[in-house]
Structure 1
Amino acid sequence: MRVLFAGTPQVAVPSLDRIMGAGFDVVGVLTRPDAPLGRKRVLTPSPVAARAEELGLPVIKAARITDEVVAQIAAWSPDVAAIVAYGGIVPPPALSVPVHGWVNLHFSLLPAWRGAAPLQYSVIHGDEVVGATTFQLEEGLDTGPVYGTLALTPPPEATSGDLFAELAASGAELLCQTLSGIDAGRLEPRPQAGEPSFAPKLTLEDGRLDWTLPALALHRRARGVTPEPGAWTLLDGQRLKLDPPRLRPDVEGLEPGRLGWAGKALVVGTGTHALELTRVQPAGKKMMAAADWARGAGDIEGTVLG
């Protein structure tokens, strides 16, 4: 079966590798254009583009799927398109090109968390089960019928980045099995069932921690926004980036946002019990152990964050 692969970030690379390893004829790759990275803003290919070039595959780099891009895809005559986090809308003219349509690997148990940040919202909302779904792409936002799912119970300290790494591998296998089932003519998608929830793209502001909230809610939010857009608070009017803190139900009595010591651990008050800060990154500096930063900053006890 001739497969067009569409994807952009690192989380999509295992799917491309798995499809190639399974012997499918990958006719080409669609990905986003090179983007400026680092302090010097060097134009850098997406992880999928870099891997496709290593594999010797032809690549289309496009921020939007225009008529010209549709014509390029059609010239490859794909039987199916596999898409994993491409990062753009697939318009109707492109949807109709492959014989078997577009099969999307989405990192939620649809119809839960339709949208750009499914795993992040799963963690923020404390879902007891997370997973991935393969479904047939259509014009609606992640509304298409489902081919297959996989589920896992997230560890209590897992970040969205941790879960993406795990589901990128297992999801690649699910996607490959889905393509095999379609190729063999034994797999038909079924309509989604249940009430949908939505996971719009996260902004920098979504990573700001409101210390008046309960500790558990802050713990979940910090893990959900790690690594992107990242958890942070304000210290003397400047942004202080944070690795996910630890729950400290044994430490009470600190007002929200106030720093203090619990033995050798740096803790901060919330709307309930304290959280232990693990690593922090002050403006213009590298990430460091929170306790080391506090000791180096001098008399930090009593400082209020936020």
Structure 2
Amino acid sequence: MRIVFMGTPEFALPSLNKLAQVHRILCVVSRPDRPKGRGMKVLPTPVKFFATQLGIPVVQPQKIVDIIESLKSMQPEIIVVVAYGEILPAGVLEIPSRGCINLHPSLLPELRGPEPIAWSIILGREKTGITTMWMNEEIDAGDIILQMEMEILPRDTRGSLEKRMSVAGAELLYETLKLIEEGNAPRKKQMGEPTFAPVIKKADCLIDWSRTATEIHNLVRGLNPSPSAYTFLEGRRFKIHSSRTFTGSFSGRPGEIVEVKESEIFVATGNGVLSILEIQPEGKRAMSVKDFLLGHSVKKGMRFE
């Protein structure tokens, strides 16, 4: 089929790669390149970089409405959207002859919105899934085509789950397009009360030590590798990249360091103890607690805030 593919981050790469092997990708639409890193160097989006390697034309409009006429001239049968980063207006949704479809990393109507992978871990879910759907003007509210359930493993982070879901999602998208091409793609209304996965703000990343150890551990997992959970110790900010819950019998005020060992810092919470395994001082690289303690004096009784 004649396809316009819209996507931006690494999550979309397996889908683009899979579809490019069996369909004609007329062009790839990606968000504009942005400055990144400490040097704020402008880098291509992952999808743009990969599409260029495949020899597929790439367009990067500031707003999608800027290229409506260009999209119409391509006469696509399908527009496929995988983590593009902008809501498509009716003028775009009406262009392809067979419709617009979206790959969304949750079991809709659960976790509609831009951050379902992170929130599924932060909220302590043990399962999630992937949905392909027909797009409409309402965010993530279109009719379902296919769904696949996935387990969230106890050691999963946002990064590891995102990688697994991107690969599985590419396969689900391939099967979805096969059904569309055959004229057999279903349209199932979303059933049940929707929940939402909003944009993660800086305030969401600040550790509240009055929460339970399990809740804080899930926050650390859900924000790894980025934007990362953070806390303060003696006025300095520290990102926490890895942790575990501890079942020992330490006691202390929420945020209080109750024990320091060679490779772990044990912190009291509102319920239970959290062991910090990997930490990043402000302006420094992430490191194991073992390496961190070689250059920092952290003592029992100090308190994270």
TM-score range, shorter chain: over 0.9
Partner residue in 2 for 1:11:
11
Partner residue in 1 for 2:259:
261
Q: Is 1:132 the counterpart of 2:130 in the alignment?
A: yes
Deviation at 1:132, TM superposition (A): 0.7
**Distance (Å, rounded) in 1 between the aligned partners of 2:261 and 2:235:** 28
* 2:168 counterpart SS class: helix
1:299 to 1:142, Cα distance in 2 relative to 1, 3 A: closer
**Distance (Å, rounded) in 2 between the aligned partners of 1:62 and 1:8:** 12
Partner residue in 1 for 2:282:
283
Partner residue in 1 for 2:159:
161
Deviation at 1:181, TM superposition (A): 0.6
Runs (4+) of structure 1 moved beyond 6 Å? none
**Distance (Å, rounded) in 2 between the aligned partners of 1:117 and 1:184:** 32
1:125 to 1:299, Cα distance in 2 relative to 1, 3 A: closer
The number of equivalent residue pairs is 304
Aligned 1:74-85 pairs, distance under 5 A? 74-85=72-83
CA RMSD of aligned residues (A): 1.3
User: Structure 2 counterpart of 1:98, which letter?
Assistant: P
Residues 4 and 27, structure 2, Cα contact 8 Å, conserved in 1 = yes
Deviation at 1:64, TM superposition (A): 1.6
* 2:171 counterpart SS class: helix
Gaps of 5+ in 2: none
Gaps of 5+ in 1: none
1:225-281 deviation digits (Å, cap 9, x = unpaired): 222221110122221011131010124213211123265332111011111101111
**Distance (Å, rounded) in 2 between the aligned partners of 1:263 and 1:277:** 10
1:177 to 1:299, Cα distance in 2 relative to 1, 3 A: closer
User: Structure 2 counterpart of 1:203, which letter?
Assistant: K
Deviation at 1:286, TM superposition (A): 1.2
**Distance (Å, rounded) in 2 between the aligned partners of 1:280 and 1:149:** 37
Residues 126 and 153, structure 2, Cα contact 8 Å, conserved in 1 = no
1:217 to 1:170, Cα distance in 2 relative to 1, 3 A: same
* 1:142 counterpart SS class: coil
1:146-184 deviation digits (Å, cap 9, x = unpaired): 000111111112112111100000000101110111011
User: Structure 2 counterpart of 1:7, which letter?
Assistant: G
Partner residue in 1 for 2:179:
181
Partner residue in 2 for 1:65:
64
Q: Is 1:301 the counterpart of 2:300 in the alignment?
A: yes
Partner residue in 2 for 1:42:
41
Residues 103 and 137, structure 1, Cα contact 8 Å, conserved in 2 = yes
Residues 136 and 147, structure 1, Cα contact 8 Å, conserved in 2 = yes
Residues 266 and 294, structure 1, Cα contact 8 Å, conserved in 2 = no
Deviation at 1:299, TM superposition (A): 4.7
Partner residue in 2 for 1:244:
242
When normalised by structure 2's length, the TM-score is 0.96
Deviation at 1:298, TM superposition (A): 2.3
Partner residue in 2 for 1:104:
102
